[in-house]
Amino acid sequence: MKCVICQHGYTEKGFTTVTLERNESVLVFKQVPADICDNCGEVYLDSAINQALLSQAENELQRGVFLEMVNFTAPKVGAEMPLL
Ligand SMILES: [Zn+2]
């Protein structure tokens, strides 16, 4: 799709690193699938990916981590997403 930020580039499938902070905890998710603008580098996360990211973050935070590198486990493509 065309990038809505710079209006020049087009997004391509790739992977990015997402950092989430809450209170004193920092979670760094690696290998998160995303659409990335080839011009300005803006990252677009699919809503299913975003959901999975947040629920995985919740699990990590409940373990009481302060700083954690997490390998993101993507929801299987084509599989039914469980209703939350
Ligand atoms: Zn752009």
83 CA → ligand 1 middle, Å: 32
How many angstroms is it from 44 CA to the middle of ligand 1? 10
- Give residue limits of the domains in the chain: 11-71
d(CA 60, CA 19): 13
Q: Which CATH architecture has domain 11-71?
A: Roll (3.10)
Tens digit of each residue's pLDDT, the chain (84 residues): 999 999 999 999 999 999 999 888 999 999 999 999 999 999 999 999 999 999 999 998 898 888 988 888 877 655 555 554
Cβ pair 15, 44 in contact under 8 A: no
Handedness of CA 30, 58, 48, 19 (dihedral sign): negative
Helix, strand, or coil (residue 54): helix
- Going from the Cα of 23 to the center of ligand 1, the distance in angstroms, rounded, reads 31
CA 36 to centroid of ligand 1, rounded, Å: 8
This prediction has a pTM of 0.76
The residue whose two tokens read 């290998």 is 31
What distance in Å separates the CA atoms of residue 39 and residue 3, rounded to the nearest whole number? Answer: 8
